[in-house]
Amino acid sequence: MKENVIKTKSFAFALKVVKLYQFLQTDKKEYVLSKQLLRSGTAIGALVHEAIQAESSADFIRKMAIGLTEANETEYWLDLLFQAAFLDETADNSVKIDITEILKLLVSIIKTSKQNLYK
């Protein structure tokens, strides 16, 4: 069976977000923004997982689109945490590379799926 890249990357990203959340809570004593990041950052993988089991192509696209929304929100929280100095440049760069890649994958998947739906 072929590896599902978005499923693998979104799950790995969720694990990274969980670890970042733990760091922000224990080391930085940041409780509000980190909780928002945890919710949106882990939701991406959950929605991708749901989409893979979708009942129809339209349902697949809808769930991937919600995942894209969560990915955009996650990028926002990461930017805010960096600008507020809760994340240093190294930590920010690490997660930014991942979320940017996930965003690009989701956009591509949705675009291709929509094209295939209307053929």
User: Is there a contact between 70 and 25 (Cβ–Cβ < 8 Å)?
Assistant: no
d(CA 40, CA 96): 14
What would the pLDDT profile of 21-42 be if each residue is shown by its tens digit?
Answer: 999 999 999 999 999 999 999 9
Alpha-carbon span 85 to 91, nearest angstrom: 11
Instruction: Name the band, by pLDDT with cuts 50, 70 and 90, for residue 1.
Output: low
Q: What residue spans of the chain are helical by DSSP H?
A: 5-26, 32-52, 57-83, 89-117
Using the predicted structure, report yes or no on whether residue 117 has a pLDDT greater than 90: no
Average pLDDT, the chain: 96
pLDDT tens digits, 43-90: 999 999 999 999 999 999 999 999 999 999 999 999 999 999 999 999
pTM to 2 decimal places: 0.94
